[in-house]
Amino acid sequence: MWSPAVQTAHSSSLEAAPRQFVRYVPYNGLTVVPSWVAEPPRRRRVCLTWGTSTTRLDPRYTSWLPDILSGLSQVDAEIVLAVTARELDLLDGLPANVRAASGVPLQALLPTCDAVVHQGGAGTTLTSVLSGLPQVVVAQLADQLVTGKRVTEVGIGRCVLPTESVAEDIREAVEDVLVASTYREHAATMRAEMLAQPAPLDVVPVLESIARDGAAVAA
Protein backbone atom coordinates (compact mmCIF):
# COMPACT_ATOMS: atom_id res chain seq x y z
CA MET A 1 0.00 0.00 0.00
CA TRP A 2 1.20 3.51 -0.77
CA SER A 3 1.63 5.92 2.10
CA PRO A 4 -0.71 8.96 2.23
CA ALA A 5 2.20 11.19 1.18
CA VAL A 6 2.96 9.04 -1.88
CA GLN A 7 -0.73 8.86 -2.79
CA THR A 8 -1.04 12.65 -2.56
CA ALA A 9 2.04 13.18 -4.72
CA HIS A 10 0.77 10.64 -7.26
CA SER A 11 -2.68 12.29 -7.42
CA SER A 12 -1.11 15.74 -7.81
CA SER A 13 1.10 14.55 -10.66
CA LEU A 14 -1.91 13.07 -12.46
CA GLU A 15 -3.89 16.29 -12.02
CA ALA A 16 -1.02 18.34 -13.40
CA ALA A 17 -0.42 16.08 -16.41
CA PRO A 18 -1.59 17.35 -19.81
CA ARG A 19 -4.80 15.69 -20.87
CA GLN A 20 -7.32 15.73 -23.67
CA PHE A 21 -10.86 14.37 -23.58
CA VAL A 22 -11.98 12.34 -26.58
CA ARG A 23 -15.33 11.12 -27.79
CA TYR A 24 -16.31 7.51 -27.19
CA VAL A 25 -16.55 5.54 -30.44
CA PRO A 26 -18.29 2.13 -30.30
CA TYR A 27 -16.87 -0.82 -32.17
CA ASN A 28 -18.44 -4.28 -32.29
CA GLY A 29 -16.17 -5.86 -34.87
CA LEU A 30 -17.07 -7.13 -38.32
CA THR A 31 -20.59 -8.54 -38.46
CA VAL A 32 -23.77 -8.57 -40.52
CA VAL A 33 -26.66 -6.29 -39.52
CA PRO A 34 -30.02 -8.05 -40.08
CA SER A 35 -32.38 -6.27 -42.45
CA TRP A 36 -35.11 -5.94 -39.81
CA VAL A 37 -32.92 -3.55 -37.81
CA ALA A 38 -33.38 -0.91 -40.53
CA GLU A 39 -37.17 -1.29 -40.54
CA PRO A 40 -39.21 1.06 -38.28
CA PRO A 41 -40.31 -0.83 -35.14
CA ARG A 42 -44.04 -1.52 -35.00
CA ARG A 43 -44.10 -1.04 -31.23
CA ARG A 44 -41.85 0.12 -28.46
CA ARG A 45 -38.55 -1.76 -28.50
CA VAL A 46 -36.36 -2.65 -25.53
CA CYS A 47 -32.93 -4.23 -25.90
CA LEU A 48 -31.72 -6.74 -23.33
CA THR A 49 -28.01 -7.40 -23.63
CA TRP A 50 -25.44 -9.01 -21.33
CA GLY A 51 -22.15 -7.87 -22.85
CA THR A 52 -19.45 -10.37 -23.77
CA SER A 53 -17.41 -10.66 -20.57
CA THR A 54 -19.85 -11.36 -17.73
CA THR A 55 -20.67 -14.94 -18.68
CA ARG A 56 -17.05 -15.60 -19.60
CA LEU A 57 -16.03 -14.61 -16.08
CA ASP A 58 -18.59 -16.93 -14.50
CA PRO A 59 -21.59 -18.61 -16.21
CA ARG A 60 -23.54 -18.23 -12.98
CA TYR A 61 -23.90 -14.52 -13.72
CA THR A 62 -26.22 -15.47 -16.58
CA SER A 63 -28.53 -17.43 -14.28
CA TRP A 64 -30.67 -14.33 -13.79
CA LEU A 65 -31.53 -13.96 -17.49
CA PRO A 66 -34.66 -16.20 -17.34
CA ASP A 67 -36.06 -14.15 -14.45
CA ILE A 68 -35.24 -10.90 -16.22
CA LEU A 69 -36.96 -12.16 -19.37
CA SER A 70 -39.95 -13.17 -17.25
CA GLY A 71 -40.28 -9.58 -16.07
CA LEU A 72 -39.82 -8.19 -19.57
CA SER A 73 -42.48 -10.56 -20.93
CA GLN A 74 -44.99 -8.45 -19.00
CA VAL A 75 -43.89 -5.19 -20.65
CA ASP A 76 -45.88 -4.00 -23.67
CA ALA A 77 -42.88 -3.85 -25.98
CA GLU A 78 -40.79 -5.88 -28.39
CA ILE A 79 -37.81 -7.25 -26.46
CA VAL A 80 -34.66 -7.78 -28.50
CA LEU A 81 -32.37 -10.25 -26.75
CA ALA A 82 -28.86 -9.31 -27.91
CA VAL A 83 -26.72 -11.90 -26.15
CA THR A 84 -24.07 -14.38 -27.24
CA ALA A 85 -24.93 -17.74 -28.77
CA ARG A 86 -23.56 -19.37 -25.63
CA GLU A 87 -25.99 -17.43 -23.46
CA LEU A 88 -28.89 -18.28 -25.77
CA ASP A 89 -28.06 -21.96 -25.34
CA LEU A 90 -28.48 -21.56 -21.58
CA LEU A 91 -32.09 -20.41 -21.98
CA ASP A 92 -35.03 -22.76 -22.16
CA GLY A 93 -37.36 -21.04 -24.61
CA LEU A 94 -38.23 -17.35 -25.02
CA PRO A 95 -41.41 -15.36 -24.20
CA ALA A 96 -43.66 -14.47 -27.13
CA ASN A 97 -42.56 -10.82 -27.23
CA VAL A 98 -38.83 -11.63 -27.33
CA ARG A 99 -36.72 -11.67 -30.52
CA ALA A 100 -33.31 -13.36 -30.29
CA ALA A 101 -30.59 -11.33 -31.99
CA SER A 102 -27.22 -12.86 -31.23
CA GLY A 103 -24.32 -10.99 -32.80
CA VAL A 104 -26.21 -7.83 -33.79
CA PRO A 105 -23.90 -4.81 -33.24
CA LEU A 106 -25.23 -2.55 -30.51
CA GLN A 107 -24.33 0.65 -32.36
CA ALA A 108 -26.80 -0.40 -35.09
CA LEU A 109 -29.49 -1.83 -32.81
CA LEU A 110 -29.70 0.64 -29.93
CA PRO A 111 -30.72 3.70 -32.00
CA THR A 112 -33.89 1.77 -32.95
CA CYS A 113 -34.79 1.12 -29.30
CA ASP A 114 -36.70 3.04 -26.63
CA ALA A 115 -34.72 1.66 -23.67
CA VAL A 116 -31.97 -0.82 -22.86
CA VAL A 117 -31.48 -3.34 -20.06
CA HIS A 118 -27.89 -4.44 -19.51
CA GLN A 119 -25.29 -5.72 -17.07
CA GLY A 120 -23.46 -2.42 -16.55
CA GLY A 121 -20.38 -2.99 -18.69
CA ALA A 122 -18.52 0.12 -19.81
CA GLY A 123 -18.93 -0.47 -23.55
CA THR A 124 -22.65 -1.16 -23.33
CA THR A 125 -23.24 1.81 -21.03
CA LEU A 126 -21.36 4.27 -23.24
CA THR A 127 -22.94 2.96 -26.45
CA SER A 128 -26.33 3.44 -24.78
CA VAL A 129 -25.37 7.00 -23.85
CA LEU A 130 -24.31 7.67 -27.44
CA SER A 131 -27.73 6.39 -28.55
CA GLY A 132 -29.53 8.68 -26.09
CA LEU A 133 -31.31 5.77 -24.41
CA PRO A 134 -32.78 5.41 -20.91
CA GLN A 135 -31.04 2.49 -19.20
CA VAL A 136 -31.82 -0.17 -16.62
CA VAL A 137 -28.65 -1.68 -15.17
CA VAL A 138 -28.72 -5.13 -13.53
CA ALA A 139 -25.51 -4.88 -11.53
CA GLN A 140 -23.61 -7.88 -10.14
CA LEU A 141 -19.87 -7.12 -10.27
CA ALA A 142 -18.13 -4.27 -8.45
CA ASP A 143 -17.64 -2.09 -11.54
CA GLN A 144 -21.23 -2.74 -12.59
CA LEU A 145 -22.48 -1.51 -9.21
CA VAL A 146 -20.50 1.72 -9.70
CA THR A 147 -21.97 2.11 -13.19
CA GLY A 148 -25.51 1.46 -11.98
CA LYS A 149 -25.10 4.02 -9.20
CA ARG A 150 -23.83 6.62 -11.64
CA VAL A 151 -26.61 5.94 -14.18
CA THR A 152 -29.10 6.61 -11.40
CA GLU A 153 -27.31 9.72 -10.12
CA VAL A 154 -27.26 11.46 -13.50
CA GLY A 155 -30.91 10.61 -14.13
CA ILE A 156 -30.58 8.52 -17.27
CA GLY A 157 -31.93 5.29 -15.80
CA ARG A 158 -32.39 2.87 -12.94
CA CYS A 159 -30.25 0.24 -11.24
CA VAL A 160 -31.73 -3.13 -10.25
CA LEU A 161 -29.98 -5.74 -8.13
CA PRO A 162 -30.45 -9.43 -8.99
CA THR A 163 -32.63 -10.72 -6.15
CA GLU A 164 -35.58 -13.06 -5.84
CA SER A 165 -37.83 -10.17 -6.93
CA VAL A 166 -35.77 -9.25 -10.00
CA ALA A 167 -38.59 -10.10 -12.47
CA GLU A 168 -40.98 -7.64 -10.86
CA ASP A 169 -38.21 -5.09 -10.26
CA ILE A 170 -37.20 -5.22 -13.92
CA ARG A 171 -40.79 -4.85 -15.13
CA GLU A 172 -41.36 -1.83 -12.90
CA ALA A 173 -38.04 -0.18 -13.77
CA VAL A 174 -38.43 -0.64 -17.53
CA GLU A 175 -42.00 0.65 -17.54
CA ASP A 176 -40.80 3.64 -15.51
CA VAL A 177 -37.98 4.61 -17.91
CA LEU A 178 -40.29 4.11 -20.90
CA VAL A 179 -43.02 6.38 -19.51
CA ALA A 180 -41.21 9.09 -17.51
CA SER A 181 -39.86 11.65 -19.98
CA THR A 182 -37.11 12.88 -17.65
CA TYR A 183 -34.97 9.80 -18.29
CA ARG A 184 -34.98 10.38 -22.05
CA GLU A 185 -34.39 14.11 -21.59
CA HIS A 186 -31.34 13.50 -19.41
CA ALA A 187 -30.13 10.81 -21.82
CA ALA A 188 -30.45 13.27 -24.72
CA THR A 189 -28.40 15.82 -22.78
CA MET A 190 -25.64 13.30 -22.11
CA ARG A 191 -25.63 12.24 -25.76
CA ALA A 192 -25.16 15.86 -26.81
CA GLU A 193 -22.30 16.25 -24.33
CA MET A 194 -20.63 13.11 -25.70
CA LEU A 195 -21.00 14.26 -29.31
CA ALA A 196 -19.50 17.64 -28.36
CA GLN A 197 -16.24 15.91 -27.47
CA PRO A 198 -13.62 15.80 -30.25
CA ALA A 199 -13.41 12.63 -32.32
CA PRO A 200 -10.20 10.56 -32.06
CA LEU A 201 -8.96 11.89 -35.41
CA ASP A 202 -9.38 15.46 -34.18
CA VAL A 203 -7.05 14.97 -31.21
CA VAL A 204 -4.11 13.60 -33.20
CA PRO A 205 -2.56 17.10 -33.62
CA VAL A 206 -3.04 17.72 -29.89
CA LEU A 207 -1.28 14.46 -28.99
CA GLU A 208 1.54 15.32 -31.40
CA SER A 209 1.92 18.68 -29.66
CA ILE A 210 2.03 17.06 -26.22
CA ALA A 211 4.57 14.48 -27.37
CA ARG A 212 6.70 17.20 -28.96
CA ASP A 213 6.83 19.86 -26.26
CA GLY A 214 4.53 18.82 -23.43
CA ALA A 215 2.05 21.59 -24.12
CA ALA A 216 -0.71 21.50 -21.54
CA VAL A 217 -4.26 20.87 -22.70
CA ALA A 218 -7.22 22.29 -20.83
CA ALA A 219 -9.18 19.54 -19.12
What is the reported pLDDT for 212? 84
Give the model confidence (pLDDT) of 124-139 as tens digits. Answer: 999 999 999 999 999 9
Q: What percent of the chain has pLDDT over 90?
A: 66
Confidence of residue 146 (pLDDT cuts 50, 70, 90): very high
> What DSSP line would sit under 80-140, residue for residue?
EEE--HHHHHT-----TTEEE-TT--HHHHGGG-SEEEE---HHHHHHHHHTT--EEEE--
- Residue 118: which CATH number? 3.40.50.2000
DSSP state of 12: H
Residue 132 domain flag: yes
**Mean pLDDT to the nearest integer, 142-157:** 96
What is the reported pLDDT for 154? 97
Q: Which residue range is the domain that position 116 belongs to?
A: 25-213
Residue 60 domain flag: yes
Residue 19 domain flag: no
The number of folded domains in the chain is 1
3-state secondary structure (DSSP) of residue 45: strand
Q: Does 114 score more than 70 pLDDT? A: yes
For residue 157, list its beta bridge partners: 135
Q: Does 102 score more than 80 pLDDT? A: yes
Intra-chain end-to-end CA distance of the chain, in Å: 29
